[in-house]
Amino acid sequence: MLLNGVQFLRSGLNVAPRSYNNFRLVCRALSVQYGDAKSLTPVVKEYVEKCVELCRPERIHICDGSVEESKLLQALMLKQGTIVPLPKYKNCWLARTNPADVARVESKTFICTDRKEQTVPVTPDATPGTLGNWISQEDMQAAIGARLPGSMKGRTMYVIPFSMGPVGSRLSKIGIEITDSPYVVESMKIMTRAGRQVLDVLQEGNSQFVKCLHSVGTPASGVQAQPSWPCDPERTIILHKPSDNEIVSYGSGYGGNSLLGKKCLALRIGSTIAKREGWLAEHMLILGITNPQGKKIYVAAAFPSACGKTNLAMMTPTLPGYKVECVGDDIAWMKFDSKGVLRAINPENGFFGVAPGTSRSTNPIAMDTIFQNTVFTNVASTSDGGVYWEGMDKAQLSSVTVTDWLGKLWSQEAGRVAAHPNSRFCTPADQCPIIDPAWEDPAGVPISAILFGGRRPDGVPLVYEARNWAHGVFLGASMRSEATAAAEHKAKTIMHDPFAMRPFFGYNFGDYLAHWLSMEQRGKVPKIFHVNWFRKSADGKFLWPGFGDNARVLDWIFRRVEGEQCYQESPIGRLPSQGALNVSGLEDDVNVEELFALSKNFWQQETQEIEQYFKAQVGDYLPQPVAAQLDELKARVAKM
């Protein structure tokens, strides 16, 4: 019998595991085309079996994570036209997606809880909520019932056991992703620790895992616009049910919509687990920085998608004697250890970076990382078997022809971009030449400072420090940034993106703020800073060179962590004191005064805007200490 969505959810995984024999019945009828069904624990078998009954695949493939398996899947995708080889590099591939499936779809992403207020603040204001989308149990069941039954007909169902974080670390979590996309399997094998070793951990008695069901689906018409990239953009939906540690994603094969370890598990479900267990799951890079005296600290930084997290995480400092090493570029899981030290792991195993803008001058380390064992998506290709995107050295184009991300011949005069603005490289983290020696330390690395930031062309200085933890939490809550291409937003509007988590909260933002405030009672909290590399002058030019020169900002932060009194109070927080920011040797003249200028008018508007936002979006859920920080800021700005 075909399970419908209602039965799928109602039966959940709370039922006693059925015997292995039962599973064999299903699998025999289907044929396990690859892998060993015996390696699955009873609860995993139960989950796989339910997914089989619901989605009705043709065959099953249990992923072992091996190189042979990758070769098999690459050959299959080549045959299906999903990828083409890039012979200029070693083991690199290019996928071109259906042009309707190119980014995360925030408007179609839902969290399912009993009550709406468990997911989002419910405010009396009529303004539509922007802090996530709630779905009821009934509607989630209906959404599954309308899409998933039979969705894998004719396809192979892949079972991917994966670990977010080093396999076996007390900070790591296990997931089982079921998917009908070999592209997703290959990407998950890069982005997570996937395969047999994860099943061994489950066999050893740790039976908990996050259930991740993904299907690229089939349009209601039955016709795929691009058979090499099956998807169902009209009916795409990404569902999360934190109470069951469960994710169901339908209709998209792209990035965070389909690689379910990343945004769905590590952030949305992850933040709910973190709240329950007393830690933090955040949209943050982690880097180690060593000063000229050989002292090293670790820093975590939250910037909205496509605001330069990968560039900062792999920065080549221009300040002599400084060294930056990369722990992760997108997600940090942070937990206090028994001594009260906040320790972080990068739960990922690879980088899923935005390609355009990545070049030898902006991020040479990324360029040294990505040209082997990498899956590129929606970049342009060159006739010598290479890739191209906006920002890459144009000199290489003189001797080749270029095919754009849509598969059309392209030239520099074409008047359109060659690579999609959200095109990506998906590459193993251990290929990064400056990967931190402790990046896989199961204990995590100690975090001394947390940075918040965004693209703020006006009014916001290069760097300032929070006065205390509650003020830092307020800075995270009031973060704003220009929209980018990582999601479906179009115009370059300044959007609120608190903690860079707006698309990724797994529960009510008010409760999230209370959780952040409570960290102060759990251990020694790091210092918090706000940075803005993107301030512009009146004539529209960036005031700060950014990239490697951001080491100058990290140098000031380092010295503040060390307790140096190199700051002055200002109405918005602590600024570097006169001369404290090291600007010596900067190639271009930088107008430091303009970079740090504070305008009463701007900050009055900014505080008003934050106040309206809190009122409309957070309402009564705003914790009092955060509201008090806003009041204090307003009072200080009034006296400017």
User: Could you list the active site residues?
Assistant: 307
Of 34, 209, 352, 534, the residue at the interface with ligand OXD (CB under 6 A) is: 352
Of these partners, ligand OXD, Mn ion, none, which one is at the site of residue 104 (CB under 5 to 8 Å by kind)? Answer: ligand OXD
The whole-angstrom separation of Cα 140 and Cα 4 is 12
In which element (H, E) is residue 239 found? strand 237-241
Site map (CB under 6 A) of ligand OXD, residues 127-156, x = contact: ------------------------------
For residue 328, state whether it binds ligand OXD (rule: CB under 6 A). Answer: no
Q: Between 326 and 486, name the residue whose CB sits nearer to ligand OXD.
A: 486
Minimal distance, residue 330 CB to Mn ion, in Å = 4
Site map (CB under 6 A) of ligand OXD, residues 93-112, x = contact: -----------x--------
Q: Between 351 and 603, name the residue whose CB sits nearer to Mn ion.
A: 351
Q: Between 172 and 310, name the residue whose CB sits nearer to ligand OXD.
A: 310
Of 166, 255, 461, 573, the residue at the interface with ligand OXD (CB under 6 A) is: 255
- On whether the CB atoms of residues 418 and 402 are closer than 8 A, the answer is yes
- On whether the CB atoms of residues 209 and 44 are closer than 8 A, the answer is yes
- Say which DSSP state 476 is in: H
Of 172, 252, 305, 481, the residue at the interface with Mn ion (CB under 5 A) is: 305
Question: Nearest CA to 508 among 126, 131, 105?
Answer: 131
Phi, psi of 263 (to 5 degrees): -75, -40
Of these partners, Mn ion, ligand OXD, none, which one is at the site of residue 352 (CB under 5 to 8 Å by kind)? Answer: ligand OXD
With CB atoms as reference, the residue minimizing the distance to Mn ion is 330
Of these partners, Mn ion, ligand OXD, none, which one is at the site of residue 310 (CB under 5 to 8 Å by kind)? Answer: none
DSSP collapsed to 3 states, 125-194: CCCCCCCCCEECHHHHHHHHHHHCCCCCCCCEEEEEEEEECCCCCCCCEEEEEEECCHHHHHHHHHHCEE
Q: Between 328 and 573, name the residue whose CB sits nearer to ligand OXD.
A: 328
Question: Nearest CA to 77 among 235, 200, 184, 166?
Answer: 184
Spatial neighbors of 16 by CB under 8 A, at least 6 apart, are none
Name residues contacting Mn ion, limited to 586-615 (CB under 5 A): none
For residue 329, state whether it binds Mn ion (rule: CB under 5 A). Answer: no
Minimal distance, residue 262 CB to ligand OXD, in Å = 7
3-class DSSP assignment, residue 621: helix
CA within 13 Å, CB half, 203: 10
For residue 552, state whether it binds ligand OXD (rule: CB under 6 A). Answer: no
With CB atoms as reference, the residue minimizing the distance to ligand OXD is 305
3-class DSSP assignment, residue 562: coil
Of 305, 377, 478, 617, the residue at the interface with ligand OXD (CB under 6 A) is: 305
The whole-angstrom separation of Cα 569 and Cα 398 is 54
The whole-angstrom separation of Cα 141 and Cα 9 is 7
Minimal distance, residue 286 CB to ligand OXD, in Å = 14
Q: Between 237 and 525, name the residue whose CB sits nearer to ligand OXD.
A: 237
Minimal distance, residue 116 CB to ligand OXD, in Å = 25
Sort 75 into a burial class: Cβ within 10 Å, 0-12 / 13-18 / 19+. exposed
Site map (CB under 6 A) of ligand OXD, residues 459-498, x = contact: ---------------------------x------------
For residue 256, state whether it binds ligand OXD (rule: CB under 6 A). Answer: yes
Return the structure tokens found at 458: 């006006």
Q: Between 39 and 97, name the residue whose CB sits nearer to ligand OXD.
A: 97
Return the structure tokens found at 502: 């707006």
Q: Which is it for strands 567-570 and 573-576: parallel, antiparallel or unpaired? A: antiparallel
For residue 448, state whether it binds ligand OXD (rule: CB under 6 A). Answer: no
The whole-angstrom separation of Cα 203 and Cα 208 is 11
Of 330, 390, 404, 436, the residue at the interface with Mn ion (CB under 5 A) is: 330
Please count the residues of this chain forming the interface with ligand OXD, following the rule CB under 6 A. 7
Minimal distance, residue 105 CB to Mn ion, in Å = 15
Helix residue ranges, H only, 573-623: 592-596, 600-613
Of these partners, Mn ion, ligand OXD, none, which one is at the site of residue 410 (CB under 5 to 8 Å by kind)? Answer: none
Q: Between 74 and 362, name the residue whose CB sits nearer to ligand OXD.
A: 362
Q: Between 74 and 374, name the residue whose CB sits nearer to ligand OXD.
A: 374
Return the structure tokens found at 179: 């998917």
- On whether the CB atoms of residues 231 and 244 are closer than 8 A, the answer is no
10 Å Cβ neighbour count for 581? 20
Of 186, 330, 348, 440, the residue at the interface with ligand OXD (CB under 6 A) is: 330
The whole-angstrom separation of Cα 562 and Cα 554 is 12
Provide the binding-site residues for ligand OXD, judged by CB under 6 A. Answer: 104, 255-256, 305, 330, 352, 486
Provide the binding-site residues for Mn ion, judged by CB under 5 A. Answer: 305, 330
